């Protein structure tokens, strides 16, 4: 059995009781960053072996992990924050487990884009999740393809690139397009800034940016 276990995106109390039960029962925990995850596991007194599983090693070790699972071991995949597989490693291992008949179970739990979408005040009945934008190749092509997207659009972004990205969105989506930027969700200094792309870009130009960022942009009318 392979368990996909969401972890809190900020507030440690957001972990579920079921997630803790699974982490305490499995044979091995696969963590994106063992140093980051060790703080969470120590806080909840989870004493299980932890092994690194991230984008730099997943192709090398995926077959070995599948073989261990086939032999009867149970494992849980966790990331630094949120649900594995959503802009974080897990897809490759899940796909290989399914191909080889290993049972996979994903627990419900924290995912940053859900609270960001709901508290944006923008339509949530239809939306598309784009995750992190390409840094260079394909970036302009993607923006052009999304200019006419009618669904609410959701993006993850680095605080270092937030203002630049908002300025590019102004160029392709228009200065008056409504948007919302959420940062540090569930943490002490959570902030949700709403307005037009121009207004929100101006706000963060003056204030500066820290923390994890989710951008929500209204679709084309």
Delimit the domains of the chain by residue range. Answer: 2-106, 113-217
Neighbours of 8 (CB within 10 A): 18
Q: What is the pLDDT of residue 85?
A: 95
The DSSP-derived string for 36-97 is HHHHHHHHTT----EEE--TTTHHHHHHHHHHHHHTT--EEEE-SSB-TTSSSS-HHHHHHH
Contact 211, 183 (CB under 8 A): yes
Fold exhibited by the domain 113-217:
3.30.950
Residues of the chain falling short of pLDDT 70: none
Contact 175, 202 (CB under 8 A): no
Q: What is the pLDDT of residue 156?
A: 97
Q: What is the pLDDT of residue 208?
A: 82
Q: In Å, what is the CA distance from 197 to each residue of 29, 34, 47, 72, 114?
A: 41, 37, 46, 52, 20
> Which strands, in side-by-side order, build the sheet including 127-132?
127-132, 152-157, 213-217, 178-183, 191-196
Contact 121, 180 (CB under 8 A): yes
- CATH 3.40.1010.10 for domain 2-106, yes or no, is yes
């Amino acid at each position: 059995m392979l368990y996909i276990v969401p972890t809190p995106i900020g507030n440690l109390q957001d972990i579920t009781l079921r997630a803790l039960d699974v982490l305490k029962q499995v044979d091995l925990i696969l963590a994106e960053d063992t140093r980051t995850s060790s703080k969470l596991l120590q806080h909840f007194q989870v004493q299980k072996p932890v092994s690194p599983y991230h984008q730099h090693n997943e192709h090398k070790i995926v077959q070995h992990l599948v073989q261990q699972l086939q032999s009867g071991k149970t494992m849980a995949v966790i990331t630094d924050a949120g649900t594995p597989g959503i802009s974080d490693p897990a897809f490759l291992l899940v796909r290989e487990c399914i191909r080889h008949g290993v049972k996979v179970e994903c627990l419900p739990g924290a995912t940053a884009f859900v609270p960001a979408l709901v508290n944006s005040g923008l339509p949530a009945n239809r939306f598309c999740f784009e995750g992190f934008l390409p840094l260079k190749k394909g970036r302009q092509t993607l923006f052009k393809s999304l200019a006419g997207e009618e669904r609410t659009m959701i993006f993850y972004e680095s605080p270092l690139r937030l203002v630049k990205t908002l300025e590019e969105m102004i160029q392709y989506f228009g200065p008056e397009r409504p948007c919302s930027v959420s940062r540090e969700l569930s943490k002490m200094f959570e902030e949700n800034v709403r307005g037009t792309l121009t207004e929100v870009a101006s706000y963060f130009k003056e204030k500066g940016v820290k923390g994890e960022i989710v951008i929500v942009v209204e679709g084309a009318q």
